[in-house]
Amino acid sequence: MSYVDEVYELVVSKNPAQPEFHQAVKEVLESLRVVIEADEEAYRKEALLERLTVPERIIQFRVPWVDDQGQVQVNNGFRVQFNSAIGPYKGGLRFHPSVNLGIIKFLGFEQIFKNSLTGLPIGGGKGGCDFDPKGKSDREVMAFCQSFMTELYRHIGADTDVPAGDIGVGGREIGYMFGQYKRIRNLYEGVLTGKGLTYGGSLARTEATGYGLLYLTEEMLKCNGKDIAGKTIAVSGAGNVAIYAIQKAQQLGGKPVTCSDSTGWIYDSEGIDVALLKEVKEVKRARLTEYAAARPSAEYHEKKAGEHGVWTVKCDVALPCATQNELDLEDAKALVANGCFAVAEGANMPTTLEATEYLQKNGVLFCPGKASNAGGVATSALEMSQNSERLSWTFEEVDSKLQSIMVNIFHNLDDASKKYGMEGDYVAGANIAGFLKVAEAMRAQGVC
């Protein structure tokens, strides 16, 4: 059996009931086959793929906190420190009831390659908790965040592991966690990114993932003789990534007409009103029904099992920005049938393996999240640099660095896809380019 197949089987058998982790590993290993099989014995002898797929460290902990009724609640906390070959562990924290170890491992594994692609010195990690911030009071969120950090603090640090936000973790949660870290360690350091601007945050970090997604998408389109201007865009999600993707798409002359949350979706024939969306989601933390109520051109559709939501809308470009496996084979067929010619992932692994294959086979330009959503973590690394030198850069300075990082990422994966004889396969290009840097660093550091 080939080394790649052997390692995939090992991953499945040693990590039962972690389908998202298996899926992420399968996609990467399939892309690496051409690289590994050119030098299989060397890779096998040093067990490079086993080392790549086993996290350096997994931390799992109890998070007890008291709700507003005086009831003690208990949640399950995780931090997976996956790979530190090229820098301190770096990656977000997700607070969502669906969080489990397999999901955090898939996210941590993806993060290794994403962080490598940014060209910045950051290793891969991810964490989170099955806590649901929805419907909780600010005091409850604070009590939870303080308890979460009361355990996590001992495992992280500005040069060890630097968490940030992800689903359910934004400026409010980062603030509460930073306060608790500082209090316990008596140390004011850049241990978290995505901080508020008054206490060490970077300008443009809030916008970075969505903006970066559009910078990369624009470059991918440009290199294929197209652009965003005048195009109809279907976006899913209504959180941090989706909001700023919609905003930048409009600045580039595109027309985003959809967004969604976990209970329903919007089709707005006039194009999404970003100011209203921000008011509903960032200020009121409300449902999208409130957007529809305030906007005559918008239709609200309740989410229903078996229906395909935003992907049934006729569009030129699709940007999935909500969560994993939200775009399946049926959705991909609907997109192709409606003339969609490009899909770029804002979320992590939003497209199933079957859907990805279908889109690529039907000539749709497809950019995987580990490349197209890397602007968030790249700007987090810029926040770390600013914290280290105790200076703050202007919005324009950070934004222009972000723009060149995203353009470089696209060319890096485009070049890798050509070099390995898979021109236009940006999934393979991203996985190979991300892997080669990490593998070289691992080799140089010996068996560890």
Can you name the residues that pair with 62 across neighbouring β-strands? Answer: 76
Among residues 87, 88, 91, 264, the one that binds ligand 2IT under rule CB under 6 A: 91
Q: How many residues bind ligand NDP (CB under 6 A)?
A: 24
Residue number of the CB atom closest to ligand NDP: 239
For ligand NDP, the closer CB: 266 or 317 = 266
Radius of gyration for the chain, computed over Cα atoms and rounded to the nearest angstrom:
21
Among residues 20, 27, 140, 166, the one that binds ligand 2IT under rule CB under 6 A: 166
The answer to whether 127 and 89 are in contact (CB under 8 A) is no
Residues 71-110 that bind ligand NDP (CB under 6 A): 96, 98
Interaction of residue 237 with ligand NDP, rule CB under 6 A:
yes
CB of 193 to ligand NDP, least distance (A): 9
Among residues 120, 243, 377, 427, the one that binds ligand 2IT under rule CB under 6 A: 377
426-441 core/surface letters (b: 16 or more CB in 10 A; e: else): bbbbbbbbbbebbbeb
For ligand 2IT, the closer CB: 91 or 254 = 91
The answer to whether 83 and 122 are in contact (CB under 8 A) is no
For ligand NDP, the closer CB: 90 or 255 = 90
CB of 431 to ligand 2IT, least distance (A): 16
Interaction of residue 201 with ligand NDP, rule CB under 6 A:
no
Residue 421's Cβ-count burial label (10 Å; 0-12, 13-18, 19+) is exposed
Please give the Cα distance from 43 to 52 (Å, whole number): 11
Is position 437 annotated as part of the catalytic site? no
CB of 376 to ligand NDP, least distance (A): 3
For ligand 2IT, the closer CB: 152 or 313 = 152
66-96 core/surface letters (b: 16 or more CB in 10 A; e: else): eeeeeeebebebbbbbbbbbbbbbbbbbbbb
For ligand NDP, the closer CB: 140 or 166 = 166
Check 90, 105, 114, 126 and give the catalytic one. 126
The answer to whether 44 and 128 are in contact (CB under 8 A) is no
The answer to whether 113 and 374 are in contact (CB under 8 A) is no
Can you name the residues that pair with 78 across neighbouring β-strands? Answer: 60, 128
Tokens representing residue 388 in the block: 């280290």
- CA angle 368/103/13 to nearest 5° reads 100
Binding range to ligand 2IT, per CB under 6 A, among 10-18, 90-98, 351-359, 410-418? 90-98
Binding range to ligand 2IT, per CB under 6 A, among 66-74, 84-92, 305-313, 412-420? 84-92
Residue 391's Cβ-count burial label (10 Å; 0-12, 13-18, 19+) is exposed
Interaction of residue 90 with ligand 2IT, rule CB under 6 A:
yes
**Contacts with ligand 2IT, 96-135, as mask; x by CB under 6 A:** ------------------x---------------------
Among residues 380, 386, 412, 417, the one that binds ligand 2IT under rule CB under 6 A: 380
Among residues 348, 351, 352, 360, the one that binds ligand 2IT under rule CB under 6 A: 348
Rounded (10°) CA dihedral 256, 259, 265, 266: -40
Binding range to ligand 2IT, per CB under 6 A, among 26-34, 226-234, 245-253, 373-381? 373-381
Residue number of the CB atom closest to ligand 2IT: 92
Please state, as a whole number, how many other Cβ atoms lie within 10 Å of the Cβ of residue 188.
Answer: 13
DSSP states of 361-406: HTT-EEE-HHHHTTHHHHHHHHHHHHHHHT----HHHHHHHHHHHH
For ligand 2IT, the closer CB: 237 or 376 = 376
Single out the residue of 405, 400, 417, 408 nearest to residue 366, CA to CA. 417
Q: From ligand NDP, ligand 2IT, none, which one binds at residue 262 (CB under 5 to 8 Å depending on kind)? A: ligand NDP
Interaction of residue 376 with ligand NDP, rule CB under 6 A:
yes
Residues 307-336 that bind ligand NDP (CB under 6 A): 321-323
Element (H, E) at 124: strand 123-129
Among residues 218, 261, 414, 425, the one that binds ligand NDP under rule CB under 6 A: 261
Task: For residue 372, report the phi and psi dihedrals to the nearest 5 degrees.
Answer: -75, -20
Q: Which residues are catalytic?
A: 126
What residues line the site for ligand 2IT (CB under 6 A)?
Answer: 90-92, 114, 164, 166, 193, 348, 376-377, 380
What residues line the site for ligand NDP (CB under 6 A)?
Answer: 96, 98, 165-168, 209, 237-242, 261-263, 321-323, 346-348, 373, 376
